[in-house]
Amino acid sequence: MECATLPRRLKHKCDDHVLSLHHGAENSNGHLWCDVCEGKTDPTVWFYGCDDCEVTLHIECVLGDMYYLKPGNEYVGGELVPNNGMSRPICRVCEKHCIIPFLLKMTIASDSSVVYVCSIFCGQR
């Protein structure tokens, strides 16, 4: 079900062109590398790519691991909120400025401070 709900085409800050959803070895000629995380992209697994400049990206690097969740709902103890502010918050766990479209906004019970995490993985830690 998750694959069926993926956008076929989308814009991302890493490329000026529209990215398309790709799958299969026929879309590649050799090794592919994700331009966000710089890890290998398996052409037999769904990935996003630019048809104009041959950029390839993992789905998780473009959409995050929460792309199928509904904003405003609670997940892993935090509310899913859009990451659309002027500056990106720093993830409490991985300590990076997150570029994915949604974040989990969590409140620490001991001092009522608000923190953000960039993925479900980080939210469970």
The string of DSSP codes covering 85-119 is SSSPPBBTTT--B--SSEEEEEE-TTT--EEEESS
Q: d(Cα 120, Cα 77) in Å, to the nearest integer? A: 10
Query: Does position 29 have pLDDT exceeding 60, yes or no?
Result: no
Span of 8-12, 29-33, 69-73 with lowest mean pLDDT:
29-33
Say yes or no: 16 and 50 in one domain.
yes
Q: What pLDDT does 19 receive? A: 92
Say yes or no: 56 and 97 in one domain.
no
Residue 69 forms part of a structural domain: no
Q: What pLDDT does 28 receive? A: 52
Say yes or no: 23 and 52 in one domain.
yes
Structural domain including 34 reads 3-63
A 10 A CB-CB count for 36 gives 19
Number of domains in the chain: 2
Query: Does position 41 have pLDDT exceeding 80, yes or no?
Result: yes
Say yes or no: 57 and 96 in one domain.
no
- In this prediction the pTM is 0.67
pLDDT tens digit string along 67-106? 788 889 998 888 999 988 888 889 999 898 877 888 999 9
pLDDT classification of 27: cutoffs 50, 70, 90: very low
Tell me the CA distances in angstroms from 45 to 22, 56, 64, one per residue in order.
8, 12, 16
Give the mean model confidence (pLDDT) for residues 39-68. Answer: 86
